[in-house]
Amino acid sequence: MAGGNGPTVVVKVGTSSITDGEGRIVGSAVGKLCSEVAEVRAGGNQVVVVTSGAIAAGLQVLELARPNDPAVLQAVAAVGQSSLMGHYERAFASHGLVAGQVLLAPLDFVNRAQYLHARQTLQLLMGLGVVPVVNENDAVADDEIRFGDNDRLAALVAHLVHAELLVLLTDAAGLLTADPRQDGEASLVEEVAEVDQVLAMAGGPGSARGSGGMASKLAAAKIAAWSGVAVVIASADRPRVLQDSVAGKAGVGTFVKPRAARLPARKLWIAFALAPAGRVVVDSGAERALIERGVSLLPAGVHEVVGDFQPDDAVELAGPGGRVFAKGLVRHSAKDLARWSGWQSSRLPPDVPPEVVHRDDLVILP
């Protein structure tokens, strides 16, 4: 049963939403999601599923308590990934659908060739009528286990496949005005125009079984919004949550509006997929020129260099007051740039690029 030519939807489900209180994968929870995916596809949409749960599934198979050793977690994830996919394969098969496993790691979004290859693979799978089931590559990606969860991955996948909607399913109704465990009058925030304005409501980390939380959901929503992708944060337990999200039903969860201007793929992964290796502090004139005129950063505008970065590393750009206002790929090492800071470009050695950060490699942050 192939999907239609309608908009592509990415739906992400966290570990806490498909496991019980003991951390065991609940087949009925996976089945509910797959049933809703099948109905949305039957309505003409393509759907990509991003799922957590490999470690939980592995612990269940091996009958282990969750260890603290990252190497053991990787081994557990390797065991659990096939078990987790078995749940999805069986649930989708009951609707006449085939699931295709796709494991991604941060490098797939940093390396341009791998990024394009990942996009092609997902598009080919959907073209064959397959439902891609994406997970982080826990078994080999240290950073993915150490930092956590698939919310950011789902947002990057949404950009990768040119999705129009990202649905982040969690164990809460959406973003609430306060912690309902402490405030009985907490209410749902139904729409968010700018994520940065509501981050204070997000609270701390999620459940013991998962690794995310509302702050992680909002960070992912920000990435998606910058990609021009609308986001719904909603409860995985809500009946017909995916269908209602796709239909734009009011009150299904928290709706995060997409930005009108889409960030190009290259600048998106500079802004969100690359960890900064250092910071370059610029003078007020350079800050104004970068923000208002979209120029490249030259050594003359550099005031201070922080960190030990190399050419092509990502760095944050900060103004004199310390506020980070941009991120980009630097063309000089920290050692060289510290020596050349404040110089006019004409003083640089002839084989050295005059730009510290070229405007094509620069993203202005809100």
Q: Is residue 210 packed enough to be buried (19+ CB in 10 Å), middle (13-18) or exposed (0-12)?
A: buried
Question: How far apart are the C-alpha atoms of 106 and 18, rounded to whole Å?
Answer: 24
Please, are residues 181 and 194 in contact by the beta-carbon 8 Å criterion? no
User: Helices 27-42 and 70-93, interaxial angle, to 10°?
Assistant: 50
Query: Where are the domains positioned within the chain?
Result: 8-267, 275-364
pLDDT digits (tens, 9 = 90+) for 310-336: 999 999 999 999 999 999 999 999 999
Q: In the sheet that 314-318 helps form, which strands lie side by side, from edge to edge?
A: 302-307, 278-282, 314-318, 324-329, 362-364
DSSP state letter for 65: P
Query: Over 50: is that where the pLDDT of 127 sits?
Result: yes
pLDDT band at 3 (very low <50, low <70, confident <90, very high): low
Query: Over 50: is that where the pLDDT of 147 sits?
Result: no
**What pLDDT score does 202 carry?**
66
Tokens of 298: 């030259």
**What pLDDT score does 102 carry?**
96
**SS3 annotation, 160-218:** HCCCCEEEEEECCCCCECCCCCCCCCCCECCEECCHHHCHHHCCCCCCCCCCCCHHHHH
Residue 163 φ then ψ, to 5°: -70, 155
The overall average pLDDT reported for the chain is 88
Dihedral sign of CA atoms 273, 277, 281, 285 in order: negative
pLDDT digits (tens, 9 = 90+) for 170-199: 988 999 887 777 777 788 999 998 887 787
Q: CATH code for 275-364?
A: 2.30.130.10
Question: How far apart are the C-alpha atoms of 84 and 53, rounded to whole Å?
Answer: 7
313 to each of 42, 106, 329, 330, 361, how far by Cα in Å?
44, 15, 5, 6, 11
Query: Over 90: is that where the pLDDT of 200 sits?
Result: no
Please, are residues 31 and 11 in contact by the beta-carbon 8 Å criterion? no
Please, are residues 88 and 130 in contact by the beta-carbon 8 Å criterion? no
pLDDT band at 4 (very low <50, low <70, confident <90, very high): low
Residue 290 φ then ψ, to 5°: -65, -45
Listed residue (196, 223, 256) closest to 363, CA to CA: 223
**What pLDDT score does 146 carry?**
42
DSSP state letter for 328: E
- B/e letters for 124-149, b = 16+ CB within 10 Å, e = fewer, are ebbeeebbbbbbbbbbebeebbeebb
Tokens of 246: 């796709």
pLDDT band at 219 (very low <50, low <70, confident <90, very high): confident
Residue 311: count other Cβ atoms within 10 Å of its Cβ: 13
Stretch among 109-113, 167-171, 210-214, 349-353 having the lowest mean pLDDT = 210-214
pTM of the entire predicted model: 0.83
pLDDT band at 277 (very low <50, low <70, confident <90, very high): very high
Mean pLDDT calculated for residue range 133-151: 68
CATH architecture of 8-267: 3-Layer(aba) Sandwich (3.40)
Please indicate whether residue 183 or residue 237 has the higher confidence score (pLDDT). 237
Mean pLDDT calculated for residue range 139-166: 77
**What pLDDT score does 288 carry?**
96
Mean pLDDT calculated for residue range 55-64: 90
pLDDT digits (tens, 9 = 90+) for 63-100: 888 888 888 888 998 999 999 999 999 999 999 999 99
pLDDT band at 205 (very low <50, low <70, confident <90, very high): very low
Instruction: Please give the single-letter amino acid code of residue 63.
Output: E
